Structure 1
Amino acid sequence: MKGYHILIVEDDVTIGDLLQKILQREGYQVIWKTDGTEVPAVIHQADLVIMDVMLPGEDGYQITKKIKDLGLNIPIIFLSARNDMDSKLQGLTIGEDYMIKPFDPRELLLRMKKMLDHQYGTFTQIKHLSIDAEHKKVFNTSLHHEVVFTAIERKIFFYLYENRDRILTKEHFFEYLWQLEERNPNIVNVHIKKIRTKIDDQTGEMIENIYGEGYRLNTFVKK
């Protein structure tokens, strides 16, 4: 899934540059730091960390412990030339995975994908939104935060998502969400407007108003 932010902490310029190019080619957003001093300033932007062990100053284990102490549930993969069992066990105890240098990029990408899918679910990307239908969550990848819906807004958004690229009339929404005595003619419009604001879709490109018919969630929107 494109849009995940990956933090690389690697002081070897050759390896760091290679990782950055590979991940960007796969559609990931990449932040690359050569030591741990700048990690606290960017760690909240990261969905996954690729961490070298032998770094100038604090090593990868110390940096990872500080990340975990912040209470951040961010998966961390260690990349290290250390091939001894004690180092592997330490890395797997502190982080989520441990790979030995030199490594095959295909293996790293597969491990990353499995880890991201496990951590965040399987996402659908629509413009700047990452949609996790399984857990009913929506993330704005441009602003790097989860969209906070009310209960009714979440139901409306995912009703649109489940019927994406189809027009839903007001009657559809009424039958799905409201009892007869609660059916205010403007209630759908009000909630759609609030949802558009929250997902940064004020122009209605994603949730389109089909005049005289209803609303449609478009899965293909020009970026």
Structure 2
Amino acid sequence: MNRYNILIIEDDLIIGDLLQKILLREQYNVCWKNEGKDILDIIDKIDLVIMDVMLPGEDGFQISKKIKNLGLNIPIIFLSARNDIDSKLQGLKIGEDYMIKPFDPRELLLRIQKKLDHQYGHFMQIKHLYIDAEYTKVFNHNLQNEVVFTAIERKIFFYLYKNRDRILNKEQFFDYLWQLEDRNPNILNVHIKKIRTKINDKQGEIIQNIYGEGYRLNTYLKK
């Protein structure tokens, strides 16, 4: 399922509505704004932006520069009626892609998917988390918000991740993590609680406590 968060910034109601319907049909999460005002308040939750150039107030190029100045590496696709070469070059320099209106929805969807695959393709998404198993990193909501684990928390999380959707009992954790003399029966619970707080999983949906058996990292969750 394509549960990425896509922001549309488009002041044309017909085009904005069309874009929203297309993306929702493809099971993306969609936020539609008709101008760039206040979008910086939500941009850290966004995975990709589709933006018109000619907008009320600040234009798309100015808004894009503000996003980049925050240090956010979010793919931006400009969708504009301006087809002069200077606009195209400026858009490609500031963003990652530039399409001319009118557009074919199939082409736009393909470009979106390619940008997302390039940016996030080697990550596994579980709800709001992006997990990079190769580099043992975890991100909340997007790649600008890395979870800061201690060494033991990282080891516990990726032990669960390696055995995802399987129940691991405490003995398995102890055998993997600690020597016999360090087997405090409460120590694992404390670390799991801290990990849940850091990954915004206080309800225990991602790392689930299976009563009387152990813990399981669930991947079959609605994103």
Does residue 40 of structure 1 match 2:40?
Answer: yes
Does residue 167 of structure 1 match 2:158?
Answer: no
Q: 1:39 to 1:121 in 2, by over 3 A?
A: same
Letter in 1 for 2:42: V
Name the SS of the counterpart of 2:42 in structure 1. helix
- Cα shift at 1:102: 1.6
Which residue of 2 is the match for residue 187 of structure 1? 187
Which residue of 2 is the match for residue 73 of structure 1? 73
- Cα shift at 1:95: 1.1
Which residue of 1 is the match for residue 12 of structure 2? 12
- Cα shift at 1:221: 4.4
Which residue of 2 is the match for residue 50 of structure 1? 50
> What is the TM-score of this pair, normalised by structure 2?
0.83
The CA deviation string for residues 173-207 of structure 1, in whole angstroms up to 9 with x for no partner, is: 22322344443332222211222333344443432
The CA deviation string for residues 76-133 of structure 1, in whole angstroms up to 9 with x for no partner, is: 1111122232222111111111112122222222222222232234443434444343
Q: 1:130 to 1:27 in 2, by over 3 A?
A: farther
Instruction: Count residues with an aligned counterpart.
Output: 222
Q: 1:151 to 1:118 in 2, by over 3 A?
A: farther
Q: RMSD of the alignment, in Å?
A: 2.8
> What is the TM-score of this pair, normalised by structure 1?
0.83
Q: 1:103 to 1:137 in 2, by over 3 A?
A: farther
Aligned pairs for 1:1-223 within 5 A? 2-141=2-141, 146-221=146-221
Q: 1:21 to 1:133 in 2, by over 3 A?
A: farther
Name the SS of the counterpart of 1:108 in structure 2. helix
Q: 1:41 to 1:165 in 2, by over 3 A?
A: closer
Q: 1:181 to 1:118 in 2, by over 3 A?
A: farther
CA distance in 2, matches of 1:140, 1:42: 14
